[in-house]
Amino acid sequence: MTALPEPSANEPHLFTVAEYAALGEVEFGYSELQEGRILMSPSPAPDHNHASLQLAMQLSAQLPAELEVIQDVDLDLELTEPDAPGFSRRPDLLVLERRARRRVRSEGGLMRASEVSVVIEIVSPGSKRMDRIVKRGEYADAGIPHYWIVDLAEPVSLVACHLAGEFGYQDPGDVTGVFTTDVPFPVRLDLDVLV
């Protein structure tokens, strides 16, 4: 773990993605990086973790061989140059190229947005605006082809957003019960087992 730099009296230190990655865990809960600023969040509730595990297990069994699902890992959104204040999020789930994990193991650094097929966030009571608006915009700007937002409020729902060029993400609305799609790969998710 690297120590946090001392803030200047006039300006706070804005972190690059590399500086953020070098910090490791700085406190209980987890952190994300937004425009060079470290944001702290509490650890997820048990229902949130249960839903994440259930989604991961369902996805893992249905993914093509070249993809894998990973929970709760830092993601470089690649929105800035390496020496500029950066953006890193910690999505609940990532569906990404298997080779990404090998790259991180051999080279270090973070998972990259360019390696991700689907990013999934599970909405918490305090994260609705962040997940539905802020992260939706950031993930679209990062060029992640698909963003799925899962809301555990009854009835459990999933909205599957897909990039639509200059329009950012488009979506067909919330799905409840069973979510099925063929894009970006064939999958069937039972949403009712998430709670």
Average pLDDT over residues 49-63: 97
Q: Which residues contact 10 (CB under 8 A, 6 or more apart)?
A: none
Q: Which helix (H) or strand (E) holds 99?
A: helix 98-107
Phi-psi region of 135 (alpha: psi -120 to 50; beta: other; left: phi over 0): alpha
- The share of the chain scoring above pLDDT 90, in percent, equals 74
Closest CA to 85 of 47, 157, 120, 34: 34
Q: How far is CA 22 from CA 1, 16, 27, in A?
A: 7, 10, 14
Closest CA to 177 of 188, 164, 162, 165: 188
Per-residue model confidence (pLDDT) at position 8: 52
Per-residue model confidence (pLDDT) at position 7: 52
Per-residue model confidence (pLDDT) at position 6: 54
- The count of other CB atoms within 10 Å of the CB of residue 24 is 9
Residue spans of beta strands (DSSP E) within 77-115: 88-89, 93-97, 111-112
Is residue 51 very low, low, confident or very high in pLDDT (cuts 50, 70, 90)?
A: very high
Is residue 37 very low, low, confident or very high in pLDDT (cuts 50, 70, 90)?
A: confident
Please check the confidence at residue 83 and state whether its pLDDT lies above 60.
yes
Q: In this structure, what token pair is assigned to residue 149?
A: 């937002």
Average pLDDT over residues 113-126: 94
Q: What is the mean pLDDT of the chain?
A: 90
* pLDDT tens figures, 155-178: 999 999 999 988 899 999 999 999
Per-residue model confidence (pLDDT) at position 64: 97
Q: Strand, coil or helix: what is 89?
A: strand
